[in-house]
Structure 1
Amino acid sequence: MMSLQVNIRRAQPTDIPEICALERVSFVDPWDERTFREALAAYPETFFVARNNGDLAGFVSGGIEDTGEEVYGHVMNLAVAPEYRRKGIGWQLIRRLEREYVILGASGVQLEVRISNTGAQEFYRRLGYREVFQIAAYYANDEDALVMMKWFRF
């Protein structure tokens, strides 16, 4: 796989319209603009965009949770524009997000993926994520989610 080097930076409110447009072409039950604005307001340090010559190539939105005993990251949303897929951009976005989680003191990262989305599951496996359990009827269409987790070891 050829890896395209893109500019990754923290998302800004001005990125939201393009992020919403990418979300709509990427998912059957896309987040709406309000949800993205809330995510950016709540977690500005863990919301990144990848740009290539001004084009939005992809984005990742993450959260951070502190249980009192442990801090862990949560990959909430990841999408790569169709013309930029299979060029290493999703990998670069996840790696950038993971670096931020380490800085914030997280011991690991979790995410949910559709049980039918075997391509995404394989992508996350290659990045070191492992299945931990399933959540029944997690998505709007009642599809189950596979919860995957990656622990940081230092």
Structure 2
Amino acid sequence: MMPLQLTILRAQPSDIPQIVGIEMVAFVDPWDEMTLRETLNCFPETFFVAKTNGDLVGFIVGGIEDTGEEVYGHIMNFAVAPRCRRRGVGRHLLRRLEQEYAILGANGIQLEVRVSNTVAQEFYHSLGYREVFQVASYYSNGEDALVMMKWFRF
């Protein structure tokens, strides 16, 4: 498949309906529209969408966490429309968020992924993420989460 011509932009309130559409098909426990709107309101600088020909095909959102010892980015939600997967959309979104976290002074980035989602784990590995630990019963259905991190080297 040909890579898509993408534009990565900060999410806008008008993007939420399309984000909800992707969310509903991407996850067994999707965030609802209100949660996505609240997230955009709280994290406007670190909520990005990917568009091709005006069509929203993916999104990523996270926040900055400061432990007092380390500052790192935390990916909270990330999905690509099924028809556009394996075409560079996720890679571009993740790199844009990593860039924003670096600008904001983060030392690295963290995320949680289902232990059963080996496709996503391989994707993150390919971009330098490594397993840190597991969290038991993290998801609503009782599935464990694998916490992965990538440390920035400047």
TM-score range relative to shorter protein: over 0.9
| TM-aligned CA deviation for residue 34 of structure 1 | 1.4
Q: Report the AA paired with residue 31 of structure 1.
A: W
Summarize the alignment of residues 38-53 of structure 1 with structure 2, pairs less than 5 Å apart.
38-53=38-53
TM-score by length of 1: 0.97
TM-score by length of 2: 0.97
| TM-aligned CA deviation for residue 25 of structure 1 | 0.7
Q: Report the AA paired with residue 66 of structure 2.
A: D
Partner Cα separation in structure 1 for residue 2 and residue 110 of structure 2:
27
Partner Cα separation in structure 2 for residue 142 and residue 60 of structure 1:
24
Correspondence for 1:107: 107
SS in structure 1 at match of 2:98: helix
SS in structure 2 at match of 1:92: helix
Correspondence for 1:28: 28
Partner Cα separation in structure 2 for residue 105 and residue 2 of structure 1:
35
Summarize the alignment of residues 103-142 of structure 1 with structure 2, pairs less than 5 Å apart.
103-142=103-142
Partner Cα separation in structure 1 for residue 51 and residue 67 of structure 2:
34
Does the Cα contact within 8 Å between 1:60 and 1:93 map onto a contact in 2? yes
Question: Please, which runs of 5 or more residues in structure 2 have no aligned partner?
Answer: none
The CA RMSD over aligned residues, in Å, is 1.0
Partner Cα separation in structure 1 for residue 65 and residue 2 of structure 2:
34
Partner Cα separation in structure 2 for residue 128 and residue 101 of structure 1:
16
| TM-aligned CA deviation for residue 4 of structure 1 | 2.1
Q: Report the AA paired with residue 75 of structure 1.
A: I
- Provide Cα deviations, 1:9-62, integer angstroms capped at 9, x if missing partner: 000111111101110011100011111111111111000000001111100011
Correspondence for 1:7: 7
Q: Report the AA paired with residue 80 of structure 2.
A: V
Does the Cα contact within 8 Å between 1:43 and 1:64 map onto a contact in 2? no
| TM-aligned CA deviation for residue 2 of structure 1 | 4.5
Q: Report the AA paired with residue 56 of structure 2.
A: L
Question: Please, which runs of 5 or more residues in structure 1 have no aligned partner?
Answer: none
Tell me the percent identity: 72
Partner Cα separation in structure 2 for residue 17 and residue 3 of structure 1:
25
Q: Which 4+ runs in 1 deviate beyond 3 A? A: none
